[in-house]
Amino acid sequence: MCESCLAQFRGYTAQRKASGSCIRCGKENLAVAAQMCLKCWFKKMASDCLRARGADVHTKAAQLEELWAQQSGRCAITGETLVPGVNASLDHILPKSRGGSDDVKNTQWVEFHINRAKGDLTHTEFLRLCRRVLRHAARDAKTGLKNERLADTVFT
């Protein structure tokens, strides 16, 4: 994009932000905290997270919207309510680094912090890790060992 076109685009984006319209399509009544309408947000997620390009963006965006509806807008791991542009994140069930694909069937909507904590673990591995953490915390609670005292012992 040339400098003139880029400046013009920035001007449109600034006007749309100021008017409360979607920064991508200009529609009003934003449904997403990221200053986009929901349709544009799903397209952005398809493009950014699934590397969709061209006509494939529309197809994958529709599939992501369907997945969102199937999950009732809730995190697949915690069940917490997700808010587009705030805490919603798209997770690869089998991470790409472990051979997973960008197919929508390999994705789930989760909270942003859960996705970061999961990292490159598979869904099953992450749940197994969470169970181990809970068991350990329960043992500590039974024995009266406080996490603060444990941390003081380990880090001093």
d(CA 140, CA 150): 10
Report field, pTM of the whole predicted structure over 0.85: no
Output the pLDDT for position 28: 76
Q: Give residue for tokens 């200053």.
A: 35
Give residue limits of the domains in the chain: 3-120, 123-156
What mean pLDDT do residues 143-155 have?
56
Closest to 89 measured CA to CA, from 41, 57, 27: 41
**Do 129 and 153 touch, CB atoms closer than 8 A?**
no
Mean pLDDT of the chain: 85
Q: How confident is the model at residue 156 (pLDDT cuts 50, 70, 90)?
A: very low
Token pair belonging to 35:
């200053």
134's CB contacts (< 8 A; 6+ apart) are: none
Q: Cβ of 144: how many Cβ atoms within 10 Å? A: 7
Question: What does the pLDDT look like over 90-121, one tens digit per residue?
Answer: 999 999 999 999 999 999 999 999 999 999 99
